Copies of this chain bind each other. A is one copy, B any other.
Amino acid sequence: MTAPAAPVRLLLADDHPVVRAGLRAVLETEPDFEIAADVPTAEEAVRLVGRLDVDVVLMDLQFGGRMLGSRATAEITARPGAPRVLILTTYDSDADILAAIEAGATGYLLKDSPPDELAAAVRSAAAGKSALAPTVALRLMDRMRTPAAALSRRETEVLQLVADGLSNAAISKRLFLSQATVKSHLVHIYAKLAVDSRTAAVAAATAQGLIRR
């Protein structure tokens, strides 16, 4: 407790200037934190992690519409001696959470977290422990308890195209399948989501964050 405690060095990556300023304001009040830099793009975050030495990266997932945060996370965590990456985003979509964790993120926080929760998560991450926002943790628990909503890769792909408004014929062409296969996938999807039409499947999957938009 009385140890000098080397400060935790932070890198903030978020495309919203206001959010960056907010994070600075909130985290700078913690005496054991030191903000090395804040950047508006995922690319810059990746670049700076190479130059500066940082303990924890706070990273948004959505950068100006494009979802590059998870890629950047993967690139950062792939390196030797990589810092911990904490995802800090607005949404708690299942798909996003899983993607981020697969990419090597240490934790997943929501932007509506209170400041003390934020600080606690950063300290956890710096210590190598994982940090999940309570809401997110609940979601994951739900997910574990209900393995129903686990679509296969191919099924997700098909359903995404359905959500984009494509017909079965269009989907079959796009994926180089027969329409029979597309229908077959859909039947399985309907069973897993407990629905009986493409629109209902899209609604259910969207609600559960299995597909985008």
Q: Which residues of A contact B (CB under 8 A)?
A: 15-26, 64, 90, 111-115, 118, 162-167, 195, 197-204, 206-207, 213
Contact = CB atoms under 8 A, between A and B. Distances in A.
B197 A167 contact: yes
- Residue from the set A17, A24, A114 with the largest chain B CB neighbour count within 10 Å: A17
Nearest to A198: B199
Report, nearest first, the 9 A-B pairs whose CB atoms are least far apart.
A22-B22, A165-B200, A165-B203, A18-B22, A21-B22, A21-B25, A25-B25, A16-B112, A165-B199
B165 A17 contact: no
B113 A17 contact: yes
A155 to B, nearest CB: 16
A167 to B, nearest CB: 6
B17 A19 contact: no
B165 A202 contact: yes
A163 B197 CA distance: 12
User: Which of A15, A162, A203 has the most chain B CB atoms inside 10 A of its CB?
Assistant: A203
A199 B21 CA distance: 41
19 contacts: A17-B22, A17-B26, A17-B114, A18-B19, A18-B111, A18-B115, A19-B111, A21-B25, A22-B25, A64-B112, A162-B199, A164-B203, A165-B195, A165-B197, A165-B199, A165-B203, A198-B199, A206-B213, A207-B213
B26 A24 contact: no
Contact of A18 (B15, B118, B162): B118
A149 to B, nearest CB: 15
A87 to B, nearest CB: 14
